[in-house]
Amino acid sequence: MEGYDKMSDLDAVLKDVRACRICAEHLPLGPRPVVRMALSARLLIIGQAPGTKVHASGVPWDDASGRRLRDWLGLAPEVFYDETRVAIMPMGFCYPGRQARGGDNPPRPECAPAWHGRLRALLPAVRLTLLVGSYAQKYHLGAANRKTMTETVAHWRDYLPDHLPTPHPSWRTTHWMTKNPWFEAEVLPALRARIQEVLT
């Protein structure tokens, strides 16, 4: 009965999230919150915010960054998009618009304080939270976050077994990975092993 109550609570909060309009005036394409999760999810992925392709499809990580992320995790699309195993909750649920100098705006600051705590409390089975990019790391690691994203990711062992930080898997990360070969050599094998342990 308790599990049923939590499921009802999660469904109710997700309904509220999908109807959210708290920052609608700042969204150039209008609100379209993108989030997926179920009570039984064991892996939680917290990224930045949807891009235009994800805004159009409503499917999280439905772009080149998503393909790279799935490769990093060693997960086939059918597993990655199985919300009974993998929950996906960005820092900003809607597309935040584009910067004048190129690239997307940061995630809207209203989302995480309004929804993350409520949603995370309704995911009792989560055993690993993947913090993808500096926005997720700063918010969810708090004082344990390091001065730079590179330093935070380099100290990934300090955050296990509950959290694991990674860079954002955009095309810009290609240069970063060339400068930081330890990420591919050390972090990715450990990340894939931990995910298999969590999801098996």
Residue 8 confidence (pLDDT): 85
- The distance from CA 173 to its chain's CA centroid, rounded to whole angstroms, is 16
Q: How many of the other CB atoms lie within 10 Å of CB of 89?
A: 25
Predicted confidence pLDDT, tens digits, the chain (200 residues): 455 577 789 999 999 999 999 999 999 999 999 999 999 999 999 999 999 999 999 999 999 999 999 999 999 999 999 999 999 999 999 999 998 777 899 999 999 999 999 999 999 999 999 999 999 999 999 999 999 999 999 999 999 999 999 999 998 899 999 999 999 999 999 999 999 999 99
Residue 3 confidence (pLDDT): 57
The phi and psi torsions of 156 (rounded to 5 degrees) equal -55, -35
- Helix (H/G/I), strand (E/B), else coil: 140: helix
Phi-psi label, residue 185: left if phi above 0, alpha if psi -120 to 50, beta otherwise: alpha
Give the alpha-carbon dihedral of 142, 147, 153, 155, to 10 degrees. -80
Residue 199 confidence (pLDDT): 97
Homologous superfamily of domain range 2-199 = Uracil-DNA glycosylase-like domain (3.40.470.10)
Q: Which residue has the tokens 């993108």?
A: 34
Residue 1 confidence (pLDDT): 47
Distance CA 55, CA 59 (A): 8
The phi and psi torsions of 78 (rounded to 5 degrees) equal -65, -25
Distance CA 73, CA 28 (A): 32
Sheet holding 86-88, edge to edge: 86-88, 43-46, 128-132, 163-166
